[in-house]
Amino acid sequence: MKVYQTDEIKNIAILGGSGSGKTTLAEAMLFEGGVIKRRGRVSQGSTVSDHHPVEKEYGYSVLASVFNIEWQGRKLNFIDCPDSDDFAGAVVTALNVTDTALVVLNAQSGLEVTTLNQLRYTEKLRKPVIFIVNQLDHEKADFEKVVSQLHEHYGSKAVQIQYPVNAGSEFNAVVDVLKRKLYRWKPEGGVPDVLEIPESELEKANDLHQKLVEAAAENDETLMEKFFEEGSLSEDDMREGIRKGLISRDMFPVFCVSAGKDMCVRRSLEFLGNVVPCVDKMPHPQNTEGEEVPPNPGAPTSLFFFKTTVESHVGEVSYFKVMSGTVREGDDLANADRGSKERMSQLFVASGQIRTKVDALMAGDIGVTVKLKDVRTGNTLNGKGVDNKFNFIKFPEPKFRRAIKAVNEADTEKLNEALLRLHEEDPTWIIEQSKELKQTIIHGQGEFHLKTLKWRIETDDKIQIQYLEPKIPYRETITKAARADYRHKKQSGGAGQFGEVHLIVEPYYEGMPQPESYKFNGQEFKVQTRDVQTFDLDWGGKLVFVNSIVGGAIDARFVPAIIKGIMARLEQGPLTGSYARDVRVVVYDGKMHPVDSNEISFMLAGRNAFSTAFKAAGPKILEPIYDVEVSVPSDKLGDVMSDMQGRRAIIMGMESDKGMERLLAKVPLKEMSNYSISLSSITGGRASFAMKYSGYELVPTDVQEKLLKEYEALAMVED
């Protein structure tokens, strides 16, 4: 393969919901581009994109697949993305390293929830979008309905480049209003007959052509002046206007194909080759210092690694984008993230598992290499004279969690190694080794996401695993002030142990005034603050320690031991053994012995005094609360709200968004365990949701009583 210049490279992400046929479209593109000699089928597991064993097992896309086509002197790099929200991380990654989104719509169902979610990512990242309405040969195809949906979302910016003459089981022809021709295919598809538009279609074709001309002219002042003077634009002028409209997201072209029959695929490739902006025409990415990094092939080399897979007999396969400069086989580069050196001993471009060797890749291109020593997903390799780092990929928050363990405990270490490797491949599989819960927690995007993880570990690594309901990271705090003292005294021959601590505990909140006095049982305790220490706790919240010891009752050298004892008790609250937080402790008095007092004595005295006071201070359990946003069709809103209320949710608001309703709520994490499964069941898979940690709030009294009983029962079993 020749080395393509930056202004000859186009990077395109293929998006679409389940059943849209995007993998079939990718296969037809590869066939038309001469990369493959025979089109594979999804049903047979023989396509270039869905080549991983787990994809063949389940029959759906799991990994983003990179492929390329040389077309009319340009190189088109594609990333075919998974079609489920459970694998949204691959979509986000692909959109960050490509410049244009090709969104495939099913002609029967049009804009579905998954597609709408993907379109939100394109909007957030300001990516140009082209729509391809697929499966126009299906008997229930409804092109006009799909176009109506697009107009509802994008108004007049959604502009038809084509429309089908006979959508349905007899589909074989489209009118192209840019070319002003009719394309008709024989039953085998492929190369069409290019004909004049028949009389019966002229009025509609001319009307759509005029709308296309006006839309193209609106994106360039020179073209607008030419349009006013001449009343029309040439085909080349229109291409330029469409290209500018794409870049500014003021134009969303609409194409139509039957990928399964290879009809209009070639024409779509022509449009992509002619009109889609090349890398050099797109906004420049920024490094972590906020500096723009233009795709200049003459600049120092920087490679960003966005994807890692492991193949049997090959090992790690690393996918990268050339952010700047030119990388050549044999180049020595420095890892900006890990401080190591790497040699690019082999360079390839990929089409699924098909890898073609190349000598060099220029800025903007996408390549592959193998057997690097110390490169992880998200790393940057630099040549001399540059120290770029990139972290522009922001993954969606996880929304499904399970505890994971090896069936055979002897496999625990191997399981941890497998989990770390799989996290490298898909960073949205998040691994949490919870010391607090004594569980390994896997966070992911949904049930299928974790089901896929389980399949891969059991199939690839031969480790049998099981998922368990994860424990909830409750917290404990107090609701009122309380006082306690404790004397630790031990005599066992020789030097003994002695320490006595008097303290007050109370709830802490930001900005609370310094303590002056307290009253307990009619007795007033005045405090004189000598020193205040604030500790940010690893598990959230604060401990504020106030030293109010006067008259040398406790020597200053024993204060750190008292704090240590208190901190130890915070790590295991008295109600459920959960971490405690947001407490102010005032140590105001105590006693010591000139011989027997030592650090261990005051640590134990502080711990026990704190524990006694904590139990008397109205202790309460806190639970993690999440902000949940549900996108649901209007006709299912009532059902979703009823389900939410059964989950102790507080509804924060609702917003209408082009035929969908956005429901905003605060929900306890405990109630979100199987929400993705329930939501899919309630709405027939037509809704989606996102969740993000909000904070901790007190659990209701009935819930607290239930948790206390469960903890007591568990303690009895363990005893």
Q: What pLDDT is recorded for position 715?
A: 67
Q: Read off the amino acid at residue 195.
A: L
The pLDDT tens digits of the residues spanning 630-664 come to 999 888 999 999 999 999 999 999 998 777 899 99
Nearest Cα neighbor of 652 from 661, 662, 643, 664 is: 664
Domain-located, residue 585: yes
pLDDT exceeds 60 at position 27: yes
Average pLDDT, the chain: 92
Q: What are phi and psi of 379, to 5 degrees?
A: -80, 160
Q: ∠ CA(41), CA(61), CA(152), 5° rounding?
A: 100
Give the DSSP letter of residue 286.
B
Is 154 a residue whose pLDDT tops 70? Answer: yes
Q: Measured between alpha carbons, how far is residue 339 from residues 322, 392, 626, 693 in Å?
A: 19, 20, 38, 33
Give me the CATH number covering residue 458: 3.30.70.870
pLDDT bin (cut points 50, 70, 90) of residue 228 is: confident
Say whether both 175 and 309 belong to one domain: no
In a 3-state reduction of DSSP, which class is residue 185?
Answer: coil
What are the tens digits of pLDDT across the range 103-133? 999 999 999 888 999 999 999 999 999 999 9
Q: Is residue 228 part of a domain?
A: no
Domain boundary among 471, 499, 531: 471
- Residues 581 and 634 occupy one common structural domain: no
pLDDT at 287 over 90: yes
Task: Using a pLDDT cut of 90, give the percent of the chain over it.
Answer: 80
CATH number at 635 reads: 3.30.70.240
Based on the domain organization, do 583 and 443 belong to the same domain?
A: no
- pLDDT tens-digit series, residues 685-699: 888 899 999 999 999
Question: What pLDDT shows up at residue 285?
Answer: 94
Is 405 found in the same domain as 424? Answer: yes
Mean pLDDT of 261-268: 95
Residue 518 falls within a domain, yes or no?
A: yes
- Nearby residues of 230 by Cβ (< 8 Å), 6 or more positions away: none
- CATH code, domain carrying 109: 3.40.50.300
d(Cα 130, Cα 274) in Å, to the nearest integer? 13
Strand partners, 152: none
In 426-576, where does DSSP find H-type helix? 447-460, 559-570
Question: Is residue 123 located within the same domain as residue 72?
Answer: yes
C-alpha span between 667 and 625 (Å, rounded): 6
Determine the Cα–Cα distance for residues 138 and 133; give it in Å rounded to an integer.
12
- Predicted confidence at residue 10, as pLDDT, reads 97
Q: Is residue 207 part of a domain?
A: no
Assess whether 15 and 89 both reside in one domain: yes
Residues 6 or more apart in contact with residue 199 via CB below 8 angstroms: none
Chain CA centroid to CA 595, Å: 60
pLDDT at 682 > cutoff 90 = yes
Range of the structural domain that residue 31 is part of: 6-198+249-281
pLDDT tens-digit readout, 68-103: 999 989 999 999 999 889 999 999 999 999 999 999
CA 557 to chain centre: 49
Note whether 429 and 535 are same-domain residues.
no
Q: What is the pLDDT of residue 656?
A: 87
pLDDT surpassing 60 at residue 719: no
pLDDT at 174 over 70: yes
pTM for this structure? 0.87
Would you give the DSSP letter of residue 479?
Answer: S
pLDDT at 353: 82
Whether 287 is covered by a domain: the verdict is no
Residue 711 lies in a domain: no
- The confidence score (pLDDT) of residue 557 equals 94
The number of domains in the chain is 5
Q: Is 288 among the domain residues?
A: no
The CATH number linked to 608 is 3.30.230.10
Assess whether 415 and 537 both reside in one domain.
no
Report d(CA 116, CA 95) in Å as an integer: 15
Beta strand pairing call for 173-176 and 465-468: unpaired
Distance of CA 148 to the CA centre of its chain: 30
Q: What is the pLDDT of residue 54?
A: 77
In this model, does residue 227 exceed pLDDT 60?
A: yes
Whether residue 606 is found in the same domain as residue 696: no
**Percent of the residues in the chain that have a pLDDT greater than 70, as a whole number:** 98
Whole-angstrom Cα distance, residue 483 to residue 314? 66
Q: What is the dihedral of CA 613, 616, 617, 622, to 10 degrees?
A: 100
- Residues 592, 515 share a domain: yes
pLDDT band of residue 493 (cuts 50, 70, 90) is low
Q: How far apart are CA 557 and CA 470, in angstroms?
A: 42
Pairing of strands 129-134, 100-106: parallel
Residues with Cβ within 8 Å of residue 186, at least 6 apart in sequence: 172, 193
Mean pLDDT of 290-295: 95
Domain boundary among 449, 471, 493: 471
Domain shared by 526 and 458, yes or no = no
Task: Tell me the C-alpha distance between 664 and 690, whole Å.
Answer: 10
**Does residue 58 register a pLDDT over 90?**
no
Domain C-terminal end among 579, 594, 618: 618
Task: Decide if 449 contacts 443 (C-beta within 8 A).
Answer: no
Nearest-angstrom CA–CA distance, 358 and 368: 10
Is the residue at 211 inside a domain?
no
Query: What mean pLDDT is predicted for residues 666-676?
Result: 94
The answer on 492 and 365 residing in a single domain is no
pLDDT over 90 (residue 326): yes
410-461: pLDDT as tens digits: 999 999 999 999 998 899 999 999 988 999 999 999 999 999 999 999 999 9
pLDDT of residue 56: 74
